[in-house]
Structure formats: structure tokens, C-alpha cells
Amino acid sequence: MMKNLSIEWLKLKSYRTFWWLMGLFILCLIGSNYITYQLKIATSSQSHGTLDILMGSPFEFPDVWQTVSYVSSYVLFLPGFLMVILITNEYNFRTHRQNIIDGMRRSAFALTKILVAVLLSVFAAVLVFAITVLTGLIAGSSFSLTGSVYLLYFFLQALTYTLGGLLLGTLLKKSGLSIALYLIYIGFIKNLLALLLDKYAGGIGSYTPVKSSDELIPMPFFKAVTHSLITPPDTTWLLILTLIYLAGFYWLTLYRYKTQDL
């Protein structure tokens, strides 16, 4: 597997799009949390502390784990988008076929791509960990691991996006179609489907693919108000279904690549 990863690295290290998207992802992670933190400070100052009664202390430990994970989740479409590009490039330039001709097993090729998706998700989680700790300390609170389960939820959410993007690209092969469908589903269909199912199917919209992982990290602001108005979905079921979807993404990617024509 290390040999396969080294081959993958040779493809990536000179691929400008990879570095541009990774740089954009890092910039968006840091920027989105910085802007949100500054907005919190500004609104608290303007309200003379009144708003803090409703908002609490979202950037102090232990709540900062949830806050940074929630804010960061809005840019997770970028690693998934990158996985769509990486796998469809294999089909466009037929490098996957050359890898098989050179002796790599189909299952090994698919597992290498899956491992890349896992590593991207781990990288995202490590970044969020660093941003969380730094933000919590800057806010003047003492470090605490209480609430750090949200970092695990963020990792599962990141893995959902990366493996989902990999599966979509593997199924469709065409870069333009795969990218379009990925962005449309993440930006529109996912939320529309959840809305319709909540309205017409007994409130199961939160348990659909990708949406279930999104719902693992609820909005951290105005908790008292939102909890009194909205009944949150069951976290246990969200976690179970997220793991089931991830297992499905893994198996379908492996099966599809092992059985499709090169």
C-alpha cells in the first residue's frame, strides 16, 4: 500500500489544481472561523453584553469544539470536490488503466483512492483541532477536552464528503457531469430533499445521505432558543446512519471499480 501511495503522491505533487484547492481549503477554514469570531466580538460589544446572554460563550472551552467544527463544516465541500477531480482525471487521462497494466490490482487502486480520501479527512480534522485550541485560548478560556466529540463528528462529516465525491466520480467517470452533480447535490438537492422529507415523510429529512453527517454538528449559537423551537434529530441514529452511508460509499466504490470496464 505504501508503494501505491507513493505512486499517488507522484501524481499529486506536480498537480497545480491539487495545491490550489488545498490552499483554498486551508484559507477558507481559517478565514471563516476568524470572521465568525470577529463578528461575535463586534455584536457583543454593540449589544453591551446583552447578546451574550442568548449566545453564551461559543468561542470558549468547551463550546468552542462545537463552534469551530460547525463553522468549518461549511467548506468541507472543497475536499469532496477535490476527490471528484482526482478520480475523474484518472479516467480522462487513462492513468488508471496504465496502473492496472503495470501490475496494480483493481482493488488496490480503489483502496489507494479511498485512503487518499481518509487522509484528506484526517488533515481537515487536524486543522480544525489546531484552530479550535488556538481560538479557545485566544478567547481567554482554559483548555478542556469536554465537547471534543464534535471533532470526531467533523471527521466523519469530512469523510462523508470525500468518499461521496470519490464514489460519484467512480460511477460517472466524466469530470464535467460529476462536478456538476456533486455541487448541485451538496448545494441544493441535499437540503431540498431534507425539507420535503421533513414535511411529507414524518421528519426523516435529517437522516438522508450527507445530511445525516451535517446534522451531527448542530448550530452552536442561541442554543436555548433553538432547542425550545426545534426538536433536534436523534444523535445516535444520525451517527449510525452516517456510518452505514460511509460503509456503503466504501463498498460501492470498491465494487464499481472492480467490475467496470477500463
Overall average pLDDT of the 15-32 stretch: 98
Please give the mean pLDDT across all residues of the chain: 93
Q: Is the pLDDT of residue 229 over 70?
A: no
Overall average pLDDT of the 164-189 stretch: 97
pLDDT band at 234 (very low <50, low <70, confident <90, very high): very high
Domain count, the chain: 1
| pTM assigned to the model | 0.95
Q: Is the pLDDT of residue 112 over 80?
A: yes
Overall average pLDDT of the 38-48 stretch: 83
pLDDT > 70 fraction of the chain, expressed in percent and rounded: 94
Confidence (pLDDT) at 43:
85
Confidence (pLDDT) at 137:
97
Q: Is the pLDDT of residue 63 over 70?
A: yes
How many CB atoms sit inside 10 A of residue 77's CB?
19
How far apart CA 96 and CA 227 sit, in angstroms, is 49
How far apart CA 168 and CA 24 sit, in angstroms, is 22
Q: Give the cell for residue 208.
A: 438522508
Confidence (pLDDT) at 50:
66
How many CB atoms sit inside 10 A of residue 171's CB?
15
User: CB under 8 Å to 233, separation ≥6 — which residues?
Assistant: 206, 207, 215
Overall average pLDDT of the 26-40 stretch: 97
Q: Is the pLDDT of residue 213 over 70?
A: yes
pLDDT band at 224 (very low <50, low <70, confident <90, very high): low
How far apart CA 168 and CA 162 sit, in angstroms, is 10
Q: Is the pLDDT of residue 65 over 90?
A: yes
pLDDT band at 15 (very low <50, low <70, confident <90, very high): very high
pLDDT band at 24 (very low <50, low <70, confident <90, very high): very high
Q: Is the pLDDT of residue 51 over 90?
A: no
Per the structure, the complete domain to which residue 210 belongs is given by 2-259
Q: Where are the alpha helices (DSSP H) in the chain?
A: 2-12, 16-46, 50-55, 64-72, 77-92, 95-101, 106-138, 149-172, 175-184, 190-200, 211-214, 223-229, 235-259
Overall average pLDDT of the 133-138 stretch: 98
Confidence (pLDDT) at 232:
85
Confidence (pLDDT) at 225:
62
